[in-house]
Amino acid sequence: MEKIQTDCALCINCCGLDCYVEDGKLVKVEGTPEHWLNKGALCAKAKFLVEGTYSPNRLKYPMKKVNGKFERVSWDQALDEIAAKLKELKEKYGAHTLATWTGSVGVEHFEMAAFNQRFAKAYGSPNFFNPEGICFRTRILARQITFGRYPVEQPRNAKLIILWGHNPDASYFVIANDIRERVRKNELELIVIDVRKIPLAKEGIYLQPRPGTDAAIALAMMNVIINEGLYDKEFVDNWCTGFDKLTEHVKKLTPEWAEEVSGVPAPEIKRIARMFANVKEASILEGVGHLNQYQNGLQNERCFNILMAITGKIDRPGGWVTCPQIRLADLRVPIEEKNLGYDEYPVFHQFNKRTPPYGSASMMTEAMITGKPYPIKAFFSSGSNPALTFPDTGRFLDGLKQLELFVSIDPYMTETSELADYALPACTFLEETGIGGFPYAISHCVPYIILRKKVIEPLYESRPIWSIWSELGRRLGYGDLFPWKTDEEVAEHMFSTSGVTYQQLVDHPEGLYFGEIEYELFKRVGFATASGKVELYSAEMERLGAPGLPSHVEPEQSYRANPEIAKKYPETLLTGARHQEFIGAQMKDVSGLMALLPEPHAMIHPVTAKKYDIIEGELMGVETPRGMIKIKANVTEDIRPGAVSIPHGWAAANVNILLDSRVRDKVSGYITMRGNACRLVKLDPSR
């Protein structure tokens, strides 16, 4: 039995894997004991990688829909026909009629996003989209606005952590284990701020805000820290601008005001503000996307930036630290035409002339449906299942109906592939060589890289996604932009600009450290903002039409902002809760995982349940102005009364049906996925 060391691309953690292969077949997967991150441990998902890889739901061959049914076709036929259709559509509607969507933002699977984007731009379309257009990017953007760069959390060196809307037991199990262990050894203080009482909440101080009021708490913390002189005077005086404006801004935003807004007692806000200010090695640690997806998402992030800055925790151990990042080859093709959302969301698309490589995803379905600003008639989804995971499913499906070409590229026959004109089989990450561990510097503050090695040959007729885009590119006459023939050639090219060679990574299958963290980096290079300092107040944001200082903004469907809607829909919907067993819509075909978590539940508090006469395990309706789903109730004290938390990615209870893609963060354009109005419906069991 051969052992191949690689890394796991199922999620952003990229844990080390030892894969065992016999007669060309994957037979066992274990965590790599010597891997610095997971040290031999695996989450539930990776333990079932063998079953997932050989799932009967694998898409085996290229499929074409004929008279509503899929028929097997050859790769040549599928690619020739798709290329011909793309040529036709370009002539008819212009190149921008193509939109490509990828499930990876380019960290856990770098090539998937890079080639997707390269193809769209080679075709001449600006319309490349990925989940960063609805998730996470505002976190990066806010830090670029404030610091001019992207300092990241360094929890392993922290002596105090605020888990703010973050449940690492579900999404970062290694960090959760580390936090639990160190809290119990009295090496770490923990504060949890979350509408849901997550498992780690019992290890520290727990605050349970009303959904969508996190900025109010953060602003009140600033009020306390400034009023009581607890800020880092030396850092603020020398390295921050806008402190006077901030002081004035938060003067009236007292803990008592925040208590009224958030429901969190003022003495608790004062207490955590003092604790946080008094520990230098402290980090605010947020969930992936969680607080970005409230209506005040971008400004929530700005609040956290400011809290970290005025207490002197930037570029300091245990705080937010600038980690060296590897510079992989840039596969982007320059294009003049602007992203969708460029004019509507200028902060997101134009801040400091840094245009993100993708458009505002909230605009994508609108262009499909309305044809404005131009019709999107060709849509490619790769490595993703947006029919289930894109917010506002109804509108997304309405958009698909307007298409003249819809192609899904995925290892599995997903709900999205089922709807496509062509379903093309991609191989899984275990069947190709590529860039591994690229996100370590971003998500774990460790400058480390590893080669993701092919473990088995591609199953059936599946191909690496990069090669599918390349084949299509050649057929459309862009062969010079897609010269690579093998995984190894692609990887070699990607690493060619990085300072680490492909061969070095082959020689070091365990991976390599490529840099060292420089604490207090700002003393040598300052901050890459217009002022060269931390910009607590941002004049550039104001120039682009958004407030230069963050405020609390009520979710537009809350009872405070919209009492009318609250009469009919008095509860508050939170979507996107995670479980360790699954990631998004993936792996629901794995029986071992389904045995662990057979169905989704909506978390509701006993007070909420009583109001609707609903008991534990009862099938109930959850309704919003957009529609209703049926889901079983999990009645628990571990959630705030009035809040309804539903995981996403379940076909039988697709929570994205309940969202409205026109309810957005006014600054970033993100679709609001948390804090919307809903109600419960007692179902008639006889029907």
Residue 56 burial class via C-beta count within 10 angstroms: exposed 0-12, middle 13-18, buried 19 and up = exposed
| In the complex, least distance from residue 566 CB atom to ligand SF4, rounded to whole angstroms | 38
| In the complex, least distance from residue 168 CB atom to ligand SF4, rounded to whole angstroms | 10
Residues 6+ apart with CB under 8 A from 610: none
Residues 6+ apart with CB under 8 A from 593: 44, 45, 48, 581, 582, 587
Range in contact with ligand SF4 (rule: CB under 6 A) among 12-20, 259-267, 296-304, 546-554: 12-20
| In the complex, least distance from residue 580 CB atom to ligand SF4, rounded to whole angstroms | 8
Q: Establish if 109 lies at the interface with ligand SF4 (CB under 6 A).
A: no
Collapsed DSSP state (helix, strand, coil) of residue 270: helix
- Is 11 or 413 the residue whose CB approaches ligand SF4 more closely? 11
Which one among 14, 215, 423, 620 touches ligand SF4, defined by CB under 6 A?
A: 14
| In the complex, least distance from residue 38 CB atom to ligand SF4, rounded to whole angstroms | 6
Strand partners, 676: 573
Residues 6+ apart with CB under 8 A from 219: 250, 253, 258, 303, 550, 551, 552
Q: Establish if 455 lies at the interface with ligand SF4 (CB under 6 A).
A: no
Residues 6+ apart with CB under 8 A from 187: 159
| In the complex, least distance from residue 6 CB atom to ligand SF4, rounded to whole angstroms | 11
- Is 12 or 331 the residue whose CB approaches ligand SF4 more closely? 12
Please tell me the distance from the alpha carbon of residue 239 to that of residue 233, in angstroms, as a whole number.
10
Q: Give the N- to C-terminal CA distance of the chain in Å, as an integer.
A: 55
- Is 47 or 640 the residue whose CB approaches ligand SF4 more closely? 47
| In the complex, least distance from residue 46 CB atom to ligand SF4, rounded to whole angstroms | 3
User: Mind giving me the DSSP string for 486-539?
Assistant: SHHHHHHHHHTTTSS-HHHHHH-TT-EE-----TTTHHHH--SSTTSSEESS-H
- Is 179 or 400 the residue whose CB approaches ligand SF4 more closely? 179
| In the complex, least distance from residue 43 CB atom to ligand SF4, rounded to whole angstroms | 3
Strand partners, 643: 572
| In the complex, least distance from residue 283 CB atom to ligand SF4, rounded to whole angstroms | 20
CA within 13 Å, CB half, 288: 19
- Is 44 or 561 the residue whose CB approaches ligand SF4 more closely? 44
- Is 12 or 272 the residue whose CB approaches ligand SF4 more closely? 12
- Is 96 or 578 the residue whose CB approaches ligand SF4 more closely? 578
x/- mask, ligand SF4, residues 26-65, rule CB under 6 A, reads: ------------x---xx-xx-------------------
- Is 455 or 678 the residue whose CB approaches ligand SF4 more closely? 455
Collapsed DSSP state (helix, strand, coil) of residue 149: coil
- Is 44 or 369 the residue whose CB approaches ligand SF4 more closely? 44
Please tell me the distance from the alpha carbon of residue 63 to that of residue 633, in angstroms, as a whole number.
39
Which one among 13, 102, 138, 433 touches ligand SF4, defined by CB under 6 A?
A: 13
Strand partners, 512: 449
Q: Establish if 15 lies at the interface with ligand SF4 (CB under 6 A).
A: yes
- Positions touching ligand SF4 (CB under 6 A) are 8, 10-11, 13-15, 38, 42-43, 45-46, 173
